[in-house]
Chains A and B, each alone.
Chain A
Amino acid sequence: MVELNFARVRPEAVMDLTRVPELREWGTENGRLRVGAGITYTRVIRELGDRLPGLAMASRTVGSPQIRNRGTVGGNLGTASPAGDALPPLYVSDAEVELASVEGTRRVPVAEFVKAPKRTATNPEELISAFLVPEAGGPQQYAKIGPRNAMVIAVCSLGLAVHPERKEVCACIGSAGPTPIRACEAEDFIRGVIEEEGLWESRGELAEAALGRFGELVSEAARPISDVRGTAAYRTHAVGVLARRTLGWAWNEYRGGI
């Protein structure tokens, strides 16, 4: 719409998807949530805050009430911006994106769906119809850096999910690479530490050194550029700090029981 207002685009046709009620629905399917692409951030916060706490946290950071009332998770997927706030939470929960056309529907892991900045796996005849994601089995976090508390595109961000049911911790970097990036080495490292020390069972403390190393490994996974919002060096450093902090918060929540 902004592009239209500024006469940057003059599309031959536009489609109003807000009139398709199916795209606004959500429910469960084989133990996972299937959420219509047309769900707004306001509704994610209100209706799915307990089931998808990470996505709800990310949704709270989007724009303003006016923007959250109107902007959708499907639109965030379609935009495929590395700074899209809905993306890291979907990555850390291994969400799938459902694409529909007259030919039928297919489901693509979100990390394969997002190809490059503003490029997705959607074919011209396809629409994003929904995303599929398991309900949170443990604590989730989302942290975002920007010059204000609202109305900012992320300088960088981090989504994190503790998955006690599969004994994993997943972390995804936002806005510090061409696409969101899962920090696999950091994930492997922390899984090893937790397992070795039996922390899933004991719910014991995570050592400061382990949190620090986790942050370092997340920093190493970042592939940022320097732009008007921040330098590559700042982003690399900052995602490490976010990783250390969000893991600390999420692990404390796990220790306190769910």
Chain B
Amino acid sequence: MRLNLTVNGEQRETDGVWEGESLLYVLRERLGLPGSKNACEQGECGSCSVYLDGILVCSCLVLAGQAEGSEVVTVEAVSGDSGLHPVQEAFVEAGAVQCGFCTPGFVVATHDLLRRNPEPSEAEVREALAGNLCRCTGYEKILDAVRRAAARGEDAPR
């Protein structure tokens, strides 16, 4: 089937999509956007987090056809022309990245949290990131990065 959707502000079309394919697969394998990671394909790890019409979702749980005509924003668009987004900078500075596989998902989920709640409490941060797994860092540095990003208070541009 043919799929039309807007990805990171650009109108994209792709042909030959299998009906059972996930949005994650389309992004990575058909549209050349490997930022969103495929780790579990069952909604458990959050590495595939993207915005679908402005809502944070696991792209592995969205059937590609469901994204027809919708607007998808991936981690590739979080950083602007002027370089890294404050959330990304905070991850780098805090040393919240080891193998980096979970990082794109954490960046998008943190971005979503801070736009909803610019000054989250510790409990709110943990709750907001409960759907993102990291096998390397032990989370302390990630929490540290979120605190840094929040302290910076820069309003996250979409």
Q: Which residues of A contact B (CB under 8 A)?
A: 1-2, 4-6, 10-11, 14, 16, 18, 63-67, 69-70, 148-151
Chain A residues closer than 8 Å to B20, beta-carbon distance: 4, 10-11, 14
A66 lies within 8 A of B63 (CB)? no
Bound-state Cα–Cα, A63 to B20, Å: 23
Query: Can you list, as one digit per residue, whether each of B41-75 has a CB less than 8 Å from chain A (1) or not (0)?
Result: 11110100100000111101111011000000000
Bound-state Cα–Cα, A70 to B50, Å: 12
B63 lies within 8 A of A1 (CB)? yes
Q: Which of A64, A66, A148 has the most CB of B within 10 A?
A: A66
Contact partner, B42, options A6, A64, A65, A150, Cβ 8 Å: A6
Interface size on B, residues (CB 8 A): 28
Bound-state Cα–Cα, A45 to B104, Å: 27
Bound-state Cα–Cα, A171 to B52, Å: 38
Decide yes or no whether B19 CB sits under 8 A from chain A: yes
B41 lies within 8 A of A150 (CB)? no
Q: List 6 tightest A-B contacts by C-beta distance, closest first.
A: A64-B131, A150-B130, A5-B41, A2-B42, A1-B61, A66-B58
Which secondary structure dominates where chain B touches chain A? mixed
Which secondary structure dominates where chain A touches chain B? loop
B114: min CB distance to chain A, Å: 13
A63 lies within 8 A of B43 (CB)? yes
B131 lies within 8 A of A150 (CB)? yes
B42 lies within 8 A of A67 (CB)? no
A151 lies within 8 A of B22 (CB)? no
B131 lies within 8 A of A151 (CB)? yes
Closest to A40 in B: B55
Could you list 17 A-B pairs, sorted by A, with CB under 8 Å?
A1-B43, A1-B60, A2-B41, A5-B41, A6-B42, A14-B20, A16-B63, A18-B66, A64-B131, A66-B43, A66-B46, A66-B56, A66-B131, A70-B62, A149-B126, A150-B127, A150-B130
Bound-state Cα–Cα, A100 to B62, Å: 25
B112 lies within 8 A of A2 (CB)? no
B66 lies within 8 A of A65 (CB)? no
Closest to A150 in B: B130
Bound-state Cα–Cα, A138 to B95, Å: 49
Decide yes or no whether B128 CB sits under 8 A from chain A: yes
Decide yes or no whether B109 CB sits under 8 A from chain A: yes
B145: min CB distance to chain A, Å: 18
Q: A6-B41, A151-B44 are in contact. Are A70 and B131 (CB under 8 A)?
A: no
Closest to B42 in A: A2
B42 lies within 8 A of A70 (CB)? no
Chain B residues closer than 8 Å to A16, beta-carbon distance: 63, 65-66
Chain A residues closer than 8 Å to B113, beta-carbon distance: 65
A14 lies within 8 A of B63 (CB)? yes
A1 lies within 8 A of B22 (CB)? yes
A213: min CB distance to chain B, Å: 35
B117: min CB distance to chain A, Å: 11
Closest to A148 in B: B130
Chain A residues closer than 8 Å to B132, beta-carbon distance: 64
Bound-state Cα–Cα, A18 to B53, Å: 12
Closest to A151 in B: B130
B19 lies within 8 A of A14 (CB)? yes
Bound-state Cα–Cα, A16 to B19, Å: 12
Closest to B41 in A: A5
Bound-state Cα–Cα, A10 to B20, Å: 8
B44 lies within 8 A of A66 (CB)? no
Chain B residues closer than 8 Å to A67, beta-carbon distance: 43, 58, 61, 131
B66 lies within 8 A of A64 (CB)? no
Chain A residues closer than 8 Å to B49, beta-carbon distance: 66
Chain A residues closer than 8 Å to B126, beta-carbon distance: 149
Closest to B123 in A: A149
